[in-house]
Chains A and B, each alone.
Chain A
Amino acid sequence: GEDVEQSLFLSVREGDSSVINCTYTDSSSTYLYWYKQEPGAGLQLLTYIFSNMDMKQDQRLTVLLNKKDKHLSLRIADTQTGDSAIYFCAESPHFTGGGNKLTFGTGTQLKVEL
């Protein structure tokens, strides 16, 4: 089945850039997503990228997709303490027959230090 992997922890200083990486195995992935989970809350969609794109920028967020290597990254510029959260990479295959049935990565806990 599909597999999505992330490193578990990342620590950065406030004001620096954060880069969270993700690798996936399903070559038929259509959309790739980044979700953010704050403590005690559910996941919220942060950004997404369609599989025919290489890059997407959304304010402080930059998503890079290397489809050949099946590698996705999320760069957060000028990281703030409010960015401290768990970040999940998720992929959706071309045709699930089951709605938006995502496969999630293990999540990366981002800690922003002063």
Chain B
Amino acid sequence: DAGITQSPRYKITETGRQVTLMCHQTWSHSYMFWYRQDLGHGLRLIYYSAAADITDKGEVPDGYVVSRSKTENFPLTLESATRSQTSVYFCASSDVYLSSYNSPLHFGNGTRLTVT
């Protein structure tokens, strides 16, 4: 099932460059999320979006920008990449307002970003 796709799978960029990670979901879920995964930290929420044109900060938003002009897309931009942003980034979606097993978070396969 196509579900939620992230691109690229791997990206190497230099310090100071702008880079955009893409996320696309085919379920028309209202909510979309960006997490970063780092050893020893688990997953930390960067930004999330409740609907098109509605976004909000998560736990670690500094250095990132998001947009949601269409329900199905939720790109994450690093405006000026730093080495500390080397990580694996996961996009997720959900179609409920409150927690519900019937609609858990659905994750993409991740983007491994290396900043040199």
Whether both chains belong to one complex is answered with: yes
Decide if A100 touches B96 in the complex (CB within 8 Å).
Answer: yes
B4, B42, B50, B100: which contacts A104 (Cβ < 8 A)?
A: B42
Provide the bound-state CA to CA distance between A101 and B50, in Å: 10
CB < 8 Å neighbour of B107 from A30, A31, A33, A43: A43
Q: Which partner residue on chain B sits nearest A98 by CB separation?
A: B48
Report the separation of the CA atoms of residues A102 and B40 in the bound assembly, to the nearest whole angstrom.
17
Report the separation of the CA atoms of residues A105 and B107 in the bound assembly, to the nearest whole angstrom.
16
Contact A105/B42 with A42-B107, A98-B50, A100-B103 known, Cβ cut-off 8 Å:
yes
Of the candidate stretches A12-20, A70-78, A88-96, the one touching chain B is: A88-96
- Structural contact, A100 and B99, CB atoms closer than 8 A: yes
Q: Which residues of A contact B35 (CB under 8 A)?
A: 104
Total interface residues in chain B, CB < 8 Å: 32
* Interface residue? B74 (CB, 8 A): no
A40 x B109 contact (CB < 8 A): yes
Question: Judging by beta carbons under 8 Å apart, are B109 and A30 in contact?
Answer: no
Q: Does A82 contact B (CB under 8 A)?
A: no
- Residues of chain A with a CB closer than 8 A to B104's CB: 33, 45, 48, 100
Q: Which of B85-109 contact A (CB under 8 A)?
A: 90, 92, 94, 96-101, 103-105, 107-109
Give 1 or 0 for each of B59-71: 1 = CB within 8 Å of chain A CB: 1000000000000
Partner-B contacts on A (CB < 8 A) = 1, 4, 6, 8, 30-31, 33, 40-45, 48, 88, 92, 95-96, 98-107
Interface contacts beyond A98-B48, A99-B96: sample of 12 additional A-B pairs, CB < 8 Å, sorted by A:
A40-B109, A40-B110, A42-B90, A43-B105, A96-B98, A98-B31, A99-B33, A99-B48, A99-B94, A102-B105, A104-B42, A104-B43
